[in-house]
Amino acid sequence: MQTTQLTPVDVDAIKATTEPWVAACIARDWDALLGMCTDDIVFLPPNEPIVASNQVRPWLENYPEIKTFEATFDHVEGMDQLAMARGHFTMTVVLPGSTEPIATEGKFVDTFRKDATGNWKYATVIWNANTPSP
């Protein structure tokens, strides 16, 4: 079986998912966010169990309000229809029952699969903060 490295077009397409992902998170537009994911999406949030497939939407509905969010891919690599990207983020959230925003920064690793239409979709999303949560 012959494999091919990602093309620069593939890398750019994956990096281009950052802006709509961030926008969907801030807007709490979970339809848009899940539209960027595979049907078998898996989230691996910090300090929580795995959240998979049909569990993701209810989990998102309970996620704290995101006030600010910036994310940057630092490295993207892969072959054929599978890619891995890692990066860093800053985020400000308001926890339930609070009015004061909490700022955090951290890192993430995402895996992507290219679908039949040529779009790169999030398959696995894992992230954690650089410092312990309050």
Residue 10 has pLDDT above 60, yes or no: yes
Structural domain includes residue 1:
no
Structural domain includes residue 112:
yes
Residue 134: the pLDDT is 57
Least confident of 55-64, 92-101, 121-130: 92-101
The CATH number of residue 101's host domain is 3.10.450.50
Q: How far apart are CA 89 and CA 91, in angstroms?
A: 7
Structural domain includes residue 24:
yes
pTM, 2 dp: 0.92
Number of domains in the chain: 1
Residue 15 has pLDDT above 60, yes or no: yes
What residues make up the domain containing 21? 8-128
Structural domain includes residue 74:
yes
In whole numbers, what is the pLDDT of the chain averaged over residues? Answer: 94
**Which of 111, 109, 112, 113 is closest to 87 using CA atoms?**
109
